[in-house]
């Protein structure tokens, strides 16, 4: 899952980025509202963590502009201000949730996961495709009763494929949701990860859940293969 953090305080931005990357998210940081709006238009993010008080374009305006563009990316708004008025105002501009600084990172993660689940239709906490299960909160993956150990990157790719179960996802789409702007390597890296995922979640169990759709990408079988 790829997250945009729009935050002008460097320490806060860095700690959010480091914390989210450690949780397996791909993260881009914008240091003002203008950059935030630009990035949000360039990349289809899975969620945006948006500070309210920002140089150039503030969080309210940024959020409202996104919604006017018909961009419904989940937005978690951060504010140093406290008060119900701000909260109502934030939600009125189209933010999906709200967190007052200072907040605990654990709470931010929980709220973010809730937003990612809510995306589109209601989604279960634990993702499953047949007997393949993935828990975004605990980072556990199971095939039936067997726990499967994945690297952070493998986990992110599998999570994305499982959220899109039944749909064909292109290599470019996987790149966009799993890697951040700092990645300038070969897009064929996706193939390498798909191979290692198959070795872990499919081949040992005699399954073929991650299908290759020639010329188009990959597809996670709804029944887990
Ligand atoms: Ca700020």
pLDDT digits 0-9 by tens, 54-66: 999 999 899 999 9
Among 89, 118, 147, identify where a domain stops.
Answer: 118
101 and 43, same structural domain? Answer: yes
* Beta-strand pair 127-129/75-79: unpaired
Q: Is the peptide bond before 46 cis (omega within 30 degrees of 0)?
A: no
111 and 32, same structural domain? Answer: yes
In the reported structure, the alpha carbon of residue 181 is separated from the centroid of ligand 1 by a whole-number distance in angstroms of 22
In the structure, ligand 1 is a single-atom ion and the residues with CB under 5 Å from it are 8, 51, 53
45 and 12, same structural domain? Answer: yes
In the reported structure, the alpha carbon of residue 155 is separated from the centroid of ligand 1 by a whole-number distance in angstroms of 32
137 and 114, same structural domain? Answer: no
Q: Burial letters for 86-108: b for 16+ Cβ neighbours within 10 Å, e otherwise? A: bbebbeebbbbbbbeeeeeeeeb
In the reported structure, the alpha carbon of residue 120 is separated from the centroid of ligand 1 by a whole-number distance in angstroms of 29
The domain tally of the chain equals 2
Among 118, 148, 175, identify where a domain stops.
Answer: 118
158 touches 177 (CB < 8 A) = no
The answer as to whether 225 is a domain residue is no
* pLDDT tier for residue 143 given thresholds of 50, 70 and 90: very high
Q: What is the rounded average pLDDT for all residues in the chain?
A: 89
pLDDT over threshold 50, residue 109:
yes
**Between the CA of residue 103 and those of 58, 77, 173, what are the distances in Å?**
20, 12, 32
In the reported structure, the alpha carbon of residue 9 is separated from the centroid of ligand 1 by a whole-number distance in angstroms of 6
pLDDT, tens only, 187-225: 788 999 999 999 999 999 999 999 999 999 999 999 988
Residue among 44, 52, 66 at smallest CA distance from 160: 44
Following CA atoms 118, 116, 52, 80 in sequence, which dihedral angle do they give, to the nearest 10 degrees? 100
114 and 132, same structural domain? Answer: no
* pLDDT tier for residue 122 given thresholds of 50, 70 and 90: very low
Q: How many residues does the chain have?
A: 225
In the reported structure, the alpha carbon of residue 12 is separated from the centroid of ligand 1 by a whole-number distance in angstroms of 9
* pLDDT tier for residue 102 given thresholds of 50, 70 and 90: confident
Q: In what order do the strands lie in the sheet with 132-135?
A: 127-129, 132-135, 140-143, 146-148
8 and 102, same structural domain? Answer: yes
Domain of 67 in residue numbering reads as 2-118
């Amino acid at each position: 899952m790829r997250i945009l953090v729009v935050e002008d305080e460097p320490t806060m931005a860095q700690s959010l980025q480091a914390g989210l990357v450690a949780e397996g998210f791909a993260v881009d940081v914008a240091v003002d509202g203008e950059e935030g709006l630009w990035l949000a238009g360039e990349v289809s993010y899975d969620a945006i963590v948006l500070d309210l008080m920002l140089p150039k374009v503030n969080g309210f305006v940024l959020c409202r502009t996104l919604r006017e563009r018909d961009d419904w990316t989940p937005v978690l708004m951060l504010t140093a201000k406290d008060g119900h008025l701000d909260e109502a105002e934030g939600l009125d501009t189209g933010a999906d949730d709200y967190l007052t600084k200072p907040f605990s990172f654990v709470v931010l993660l929980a709220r973010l996961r809730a937003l990612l689940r809510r995306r589109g239709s209601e989604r279960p906490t634990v993702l499953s495709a047949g007997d393949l299960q993935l828990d975004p909160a605990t980072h556990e993956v199971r095939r039936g009763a067997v726990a499967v150990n994945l690297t952070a990157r493998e986990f992110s790719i599998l999570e994305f494929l499982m959220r899109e179960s039944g749909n064909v996802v292109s290599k470019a789409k996987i790149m966009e949701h799993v890697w951040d702007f700092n990645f300038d390597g070969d897009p064929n890296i996706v193939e390498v990860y798909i191979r290692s995922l198959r070795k872990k979640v499919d081949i040992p169990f005699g399954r073929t859940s991650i299908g290759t759709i020639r010329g188009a990408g990959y597809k996670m079988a709804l029944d887990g293969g």
